[in-house]
Structure 1
Amino acid sequence: MADRTADQIQRDIERARASLAVAVDQITYRTNPKRLVENAKKSLAEKAQTPQGKAVIGGVGAFVVVMIVRKLRKH
């Protein structure tokens, strides 16, 4: 390590800086709130189109209807 020249050290620093910049850009892209929301919406929409997703939606809808009817009957 002691045999490195100032130019070599400078190049190593520049490479490390460039690598860090790429890593920060990737983190920024991956954690962008708008992008995360869009991905979640897309994923939920895709899952809702599966037979299991349709069954869950139907079950939840039926449950909500039953709860509304029960609430209306109490009054």
Structure 2
Amino acid sequence: MADRDPEEIMKEIDQARDQLAATVDSLAARANPQRIAEDAKARALAFVQKPAVTISLAGLGVLTVALVIRRLRNR
């Protein structure tokens, strides 16, 4: 095995340690339950606010109200 300079070896170890720390920090941020919940909430709101979805939900609401009224009248 070739002789390596101890300074060079220490530099490589420090660089690897810094890269590992950055990776661990990134994984911790990505796995944060609060951030995951906030992202899911934002995606759900963006989906519901699409015009086609909004109209479909409004139509479903009107249909539900109509069925409830019809059921109450037929008692």
Q: Same fold by TM-score, threshold 0.5 exceeded?
A: yes
Distance 1:24-1:60 versus aligned 2 partners, 3 A rule = farther
Correspondence list, 1:1-75, <5 A = 2-58=2-58, 61=61
Q: Name the amino acid aligned to 2:52.
A: Q
SS of residue paired to 2:28: helix
May I ask how many residue pairs the two structures share in their alignment? 74
Residues of 2 paired with 1:59 and 1:26: CA distance?
43
Percent of pairs identical after alignment?
Answer: 36
Residues of 2 paired with 1:37 and 1:24: CA distance?
20
Alpha-carbon RMSD = 2.9
Q: Name the amino acid aligned to 1:21.
A: A
Which structure 2 residue ranges, 5 or more long, are not aligned?
none
Which structure 1 residue ranges, 5 or more long, are not aligned?
none
